[in-house]
Amino acid sequence: MRREDANKLAGYVDALRPIIYINHFDFHAVDELIVSISKGVAIHEYNEAGHYVDFKNKTPKGVIPESDNLEGFLAAFDDNSPQKVFLVLKDIHRYFSIDSHSYKPELIARLKSIAQRTMYNDGVYVTIFLVCSEFILPIELEKMVTVFDIPLPSLNEIESIISDYAKSFQIQIDENTLNELTVSFKGLSDFEIRQILNLAYQESGMIDVKDKNLVLKEKEQIIKKSGILEIVPVNSTMYDVGGLASLKKYLRDKSRIFNNLGEARKFGIDLPKGILIVGMPGCGKSLTAKATANQFSVPLLRLDIGKLMGKYVGESENNLRRAIKTAEAVSPCVLWIDELEKAFAGVGGSGGASDITTRLFGQFLTWLQEKESSVYVVATSNKLSALPPEFKRKGRFDELFLVELPDENERKKIFEIHLKKRKKLTEAVDVIKLLKVTEGYSGADIEAIVKETVETAFISDDRTVTTDKLLETIKNTKSISVTLADDIKKLKEEYEKYNFKKANAGGVDGKV
Ligand code: ATP
């Protein structure tokens, strides 16, 4: 338990915040925290099994009538007589879901009533702690609830946890192992760290650098269990991206900071937040997101904001909190948010967005702004008009990039990449001759042309890929500028209104 956490929580209690929501699974740790700030105030607990129990030894208490019933328990504290107590209510979130069988609006009303007495009646100081392993908040209580997050251990704290553990079991641990493990444990809770140490010790009777693998496995488990994020295999590098020179140079520079965060921070550099890449469909936005993870040598996690939407009040927010916590747990990582415009459609615009979407957007923006973890966000989108204006201002993301249809030089590079990938960049192909006739083609169009020509060559007699065969395929392939002419025209007009950094600028190709 950290002193800062205790001070912060005590601050909320002193400021008469009537309801404090602590979303945590480790009730033992939360109990310790509450006791540490209680200063002798009586603590009454209603536990997850539905009983009124002694806070210290958890044995049932029967003093209050109908004590094995939350309503009866709360009713005893819902009056104006002077009192100073803490009520600790565990895992009662199931009563808050409007769609659940357990939903109890009368309980919510009771909590609100007690909270109001604390806010407005002299002498009534009842602080309610909602300690729940899930975060579900009824709208009626929203304004009265303060959410208290217990932050994950810092690097210094992790180091102490490992050293203390080693000392208690008389395990020798050298400095290098301690440093390496400390960094790899970052993002895990106190409880998870101890579990891994236990596992390592039970397996080998010692703790060494190889135990980092256990940490990695644990982190993979965390992602899988969360069910919200997806690990995307990273097979692409910046060499697979043709053109987009200035974007690639930017990311290469950022990777030098990202790979030396400790040093960079000491030097006074802010932690990189991430970028927003907007632009034409099929022109390498997703490809760049994947290559970024490779360039940064970190895992790539994809967040589908559409999947976060839940039907219960607070469920979507809870899902986003979990997604963020999960990403932070596995950081350093790249968090890729594809089709950002779909996630937050209508927010701040005339289209109108649902309350949930607006709230999620606010939550996401706050996180992005205050982010102190090494989660690098790469958001991609092609519909600028559907994005909330907040995203388009600098300061939320570190940089905003615009990806346009590839110019001649870029098309040359893209042809070469895809031909080379299929081992067909031979003397029989004069790429220069393909460029004039592929104006308005996207990277995806070019890839499709190469693929088709290679396929046709395979079933032909001579099995060669030549300039003429490629030209023939081009003639039969409509570019995106033709198939989606109206959309592309609209997108172009839209992009012209904003002064985004041009991803395509900066010469033939950025060095990577
Ligand atoms: P969307 O907005 O439709 O999601 P996108 O810009 O994210 O499109 P990608 O998914 O990156 O497009 O591109 C699709 C495929 O086209 C890529 O997997 C790649 O093979 C090819 N491609 C597109 N742009 C390039 C490029 N600049 N260099 C090399 N290949 C490219």
Q: What is the DSSP letter of 397?
A: B
The CA distance from 37 to 25, in Å, is 20
Does some domain include residue 251? Answer: no
In this structure, the answer to whether residues 367 and 448 fall within a common structural domain is no
360 shares its domain with 417: no
Cα R_g (the chain), whole angstroms: 28
Residue 509 maps to a domain? no
Structural contact between residues 35 and 77, judged by C-beta atoms closer than 8 angstroms:
no
Q: Which of ligand 1's atoms lies nearest the C-alpha of 403?
A: 6
Distance CA 393, CA 397 (A): 8
Residue 246 falls within a domain, yes or no?
A: no
- Identify the CATH number of the domain in which residue 312 sits: 3.40.50.300
Query: Same domain, yes or no, for 235 and 369?
Result: yes
User: Is pLDDT above 50 for 154?
Assistant: yes
126, 87 contact by CB (below 8 A): yes
Q: Whose CA is nearest to atom 2 of ligand 1?
A: 281
Q: Give the pLDDT confidence of 247-286 residue by residue, as tens digits.
A: 999 999 999 988 777 677 778 888 889 999 999 999 999 9
**Quick check: 228 and 303 in contact, CB under 8 A?**
yes
Q: Which among 151, 222, 228 is positioned nearest to 190, based on CA atoms?
A: 151
Mean of pLDDT over the chain: 87
For residues 27 and 118, state if they share a domain: yes
195 and 126 housed in the same domain: no
Predicted TM-score (pTM) of this structure: 0.69
Which 3 state secondary structure label does DSSP give 208? coil
Rounded distance between C-alpha atoms, residue 145 and residue 30, angstroms:
17
**152, 187 in Cβ contact below 8 A?**
yes
209-224 average pLDDT score: 78
pLDDT for 337: 93
Range of the domain at 197: 155-226
- Clarify whether residues 209 and 95 are in a common domain: no
| Length of the chain measured in residues | 512
Last residue of a domain, one of 92, 121, 148: 148
pLDDT at position 510 is 43
Give the pLDDT band of residue 416 (cuts 50, 70, 90).
very high
- Residue 504 CB less than 6 A away from ligand 1: no
Angstrom distance (rounded) from CA 501 to CA 275: 11
| pLDDT at 512 (0 to 100) | 40
Whether residues 428 and 386 fall in one domain: no
Q: For ligand 1, is residue 243 a contact (CB within 6 Å)?
A: yes
Domain count, the chain: 4
Residue 390 lies in a domain: yes
C-alpha span between 22 and 146 (Å, rounded):
9
Q: Encoding tokens for residue 24? A: 């945590």
Residues 205 and 277 in one domain: no
DSSP state of 283: S
Give the C-alpha distances (Å, rounded to integers) separating 430 from 415, 460, 462, 469.
10, 20, 18, 11
CATH of the domain at 26: 3.40.50
- Among protein residues, the one with the nearest Cα to ligand 1's atom 31 is 443
pLDDT at 85: 95
